[in-house]
Structure 1
Amino acid sequence: MDETFEKAGSGASLTYPVAAGQFRKGHYAMLKQNPCKITDISISKTGKHGHAKARIVGINIFTGVKYEDVCGTTHNMEAPHVDKKEYELVDIDEAQVILMDTDGEPKEDLNLPPGDLAEELKKAHEEVQDDDGKSIMVCVLAAMAKEQIISFRVVTSDE
């Protein structure tokens, strides 16, 4: 009888456990089931009948919405696996962007970012198309099986 076992990579889980007291400003945490970057954290002293509590405030990394959560410092919370990658912008087609990684492989599954960043990116792309010595590098943030462009920069060919 042959048995087949599925393999999972080290990033198989979308989150990992972290004790609430271990979080710091700038870390990533799941607040109310949303991947957030922590903007403020305060730890209360232990009370007469309880444990110290961590009050964590963060901004959703994809939507910019503010979330807050309170948890005992010794209790585990979830933290998302977050990955940042940089790609070169090749073209913008309607609401979709065409990117290229450092190995020259195309990436065509991302849309323009929400809000003003999309308009700024379109404008920069139009300006760079006329200048052979410049290109646009976009920063893509990936977490919770979602990817989104969060920033970009114009670079000259000698960088």
Structure 2
Amino acid sequence: MDKRQTEVRTLKKGGYVIVDDEPCVIMNITSSKPGKHGAAKARMDVIGIFDGQKRSIVQPVTAKIYVPIVERKTAQVLSVTKDTVQLMDMETYETFELPLKDEYKEKIEQGKEVMYLESLGKRKLDIQ
């Protein structure tokens, strides 16, 4: 189960939501008052966790919306090449490769443990 359903009114800044089949983090959320002919609306500004794209959506606060299950996991660095890093999950011992961004190259070292995010079948390094 990669996602669960919840009402828009329960979402908070810093939480997660699925927009265009992409897990996103909520950067800003504002609610309007109910109007003469309708329910209160919530406007959310979100950024995709994996693609970094900014998106905005407007939904009634009573609408149901999907929230991704985002897991923060630990992996050991097996090898580092020019633009990829090979990792092994510390719980399942599964090995996989992820693209390596330039800003992470100094922080990744063979044999060390790193954090990564996993949601909806996608993975990303989570290095501060």
TM-score if structure 1 supplies the norm length?
A: 0.70
Q: What residue identity is the alignment partner of 1:112?
A: P
Q: What residue identity is the alignment partner of 1:61?
A: I
* Equivalent position of 1:143 in the other structure: 119
* Equivalent position of 1:83 in the other structure: 71
The partner residue of 1:122 within 83, 102, 105 is 105
Q: In the alignment, does 2:99 pair up with 1:112?
A: yes
**Equivalent residues, number:** 128
Q: What residue identity is the alignment partner of 2:47?
A: I
SS in 1 for 2:9: helix
For 1:49 and 1:39, locate their aligned partners in 2 and report how far apart those are by CA, in whole Å. 29
Deviations 1:97-126 (A, max 9, x none): 22233359352x22224xxxx22333344x
For 1:90 and 1:120, locate their aligned partners in 2 and report how far apart those are by CA, in whole Å. 19
For 2:81 and 2:103, locate their aligned partners in 1 and report how far apart those are by CA, in whole Å. 15
Q: What residue identity is the alignment partner of 1:121?
A: Y
Unaligned runs of 5+ in 2: none
Deviation at 1:38, TM superposition (A): 0.3
Deviation at 1:31, TM superposition (A): 2.0
Identify the structure with bigger relative contact order (alpha carbons < 8 Å, sequence gap 6+).
2
> Greater share of helix residues, 1 or 2?
1
- Relative to structure 1, is the Cα distance of residues 51 and 140 closer, same or farther in structure 2, using a 3 angstrom cutoff? same
- Larger C-alpha radius of gyration, 1 or 2? 1
* Equivalent position of 1:155 in the other structure: none
For 1:103 and 1:69, locate their aligned partners in 2 and report how far apart those are by CA, in whole Å. 36
Q: What is the aligned-residue identity percentage?
A: 29
